[in-house]
Chain A
């Protein structure tokens, strides 16, 4: 079986510091994988490498998606996003001063065309396109119970809703793989439970692969089909939740770090 995303020997050095060293991993189609590890293990750096926010020092990232096979190493973040890798951020990065629907519409930008002239002179084509994409955006928002807040500015949403909107925004790019960076951070148990349902819904309804970083172990153990454990920049273990729970190296890494 060929995996959707194949990462081999990925390395990232910051000056003399090796943040990610020789990491190899793969993601299969429609799989829900978790990436865990103590603070400072390099999880977010790994996300940044995979989504092109920062360039890797060496190694290869290959996407075998529905549109063909692409090496992602030398691609810029926006190109990677267009190829179907989308993400959320640890510290929410919504377009704060824009409305909920604009946040979603912006993420849809590369999915549709709207000629410069037809938008400037408001040709019929412009209205048709606008209507179509706005409806698409509204449908997507409705799936996540945000349809009543389309005109609210993102910064005025409650914290949990902002996290939800960030996931919706990421989905609006029509990704094949969704990276969630600590989606449950700062949430109470009830919100976390809702989030668990939401992530499952995303996985099944959109048939996409999800890789999530999370510190909330109950959420990880409930959700993940497979888990990668990262420590000091390198992979410590891989396996299903039960294997990881009983892996002595993992237990040592966590207890040793005092988490």
Chain B
């Protein structure tokens, strides 16, 4: 029983990071139907930014987190403007390849400029473990979970309650109609990228704290996992991305704990395929049938 709770706690904190990343994928996909492969690398940028400002400018956790979000947002908007906007009316597969290109560029550009070494993330917050009824919880896990939840709620409020959020929903349903009623499509898409990338930047700092090591290729695997989480939850659905992220985090830690860590990714993909077969548009996705 204790181990189950322990694994759930571990799974939730890992899952919350996947969820933060998955939100970015799902928002971008929802609005321009693009699998933004470079999203995982924005998270890497966030982690590197956190590393530098904490080491060099001695930022504390909050300011490192917030500034990483700004850096994430800015890089997301720049990438959209230069790489994806020219391809908005091109075949979707071309935009996908461009996204892969951007991802390669960020990974290798960072490796080239700052070397591909793995480095230790500065531990600005001393790790303290609490023992609650035999279940170990570290303050970092709590911090990650709380920060992630606050950001997700904030995102939900922005999407549901603000004018910009309404514009985002409108563009994702029908860009042409949205433009007709006076919504600035370019602005809305930029805003979406900013929002999603800010979350990725935050996730970067959080993972730095959690795993204590960062490198230029760190975005690749979590990026793909987070995308799988977004698909699992129903791509385009914000609550779906959160649920998918937590689900994958818990699955992974669970299979790791029962000694099948070699197969943990296989299990994640297997669950993904099974869920898609039962619900072809993911857990929260709407299955749009083509009209004849």
Contact = CB atoms under 8 A, between A and B. Distances in A.
B110 to A, nearest CB: 41
Contacts of B292: 44, 48, 53-54, 89-90
A21 to B, nearest CB: 20
Interface string B275-292: 000000000000000001
Contacts of A44: 292
A153 B241 CA distance: 42
Interface size class of B (residues with CB under 8 A): under 10
A79 to B, nearest CB: 17
Interface size class of A (residues with CB under 8 A): under 10
Contacts of A54: 292
Nearest to B289: A54
A54 B292 CA distance: 10
A202 B292 CA distance: 24
A165 to B, nearest CB: 19
Contacts of A89: 292
Interface string A19-62: 00000000000000000000000001000100001100000000
Interface string B250-292: 0000000000000000000000000000000000000000001
SS class of chain A's interface: helix, strand, loop or mixed?
loop
A169 to B, nearest CB: 16
A149 B292 CA distance: 27
A147 B271 CA distance: 53
Interface in B142-194: none
A19 to B, nearest CB: 13
Nearest to B291: A91
A89 B292 CA distance: 8
A186 B292 CA distance: 18
A53 B292 CA distance: 8
A213 B53 CA distance: 70
Nearest to A47: B292
Interface string B112-137: 00000000000000000000000000
A48 B292 CA distance: 8
Interface in A133-184: none
A99 B287 CA distance: 32
A160 B292 CA distance: 20
B292 to A, nearest CB: 5
Interface string A82-96: 000000011000000
Nearest to A48: B292
A53 B291 CA distance: 10
Contacts of A90: 292
Interface string B206-229: 000000000000000000000000
B93 to A, nearest CB: 15
A50 to B, nearest CB: 12
A100 B292 CA distance: 22
Interface string B37-48: 000000000000
A96 to B, nearest CB: 14
B118 to A, nearest CB: 48
Interface string B99-113: 000000000000000
A93 to B, nearest CB: 8
A90 B292 CA distance: 8
A41 to B, nearest CB: 16
Interface string A77-113: 0000000000001100000000000000000000000
A17 to B, nearest CB: 14
A47 B199 CA distance: 49
Contacts of A53: 292
A96 B292 CA distance: 16
A12 B292 CA distance: 15
A44 B292 CA distance: 8
A44 B291 CA distance: 10
Instruction: List 4 tightest A-B contacts by C-beta distance, closest first.
Output: A53-B292, A48-B292, A89-B292, A44-B292
6 contacts: A44-B292, A48-B292, A53-B292, A54-B292, A89-B292, A90-B292
Interface of B: 292
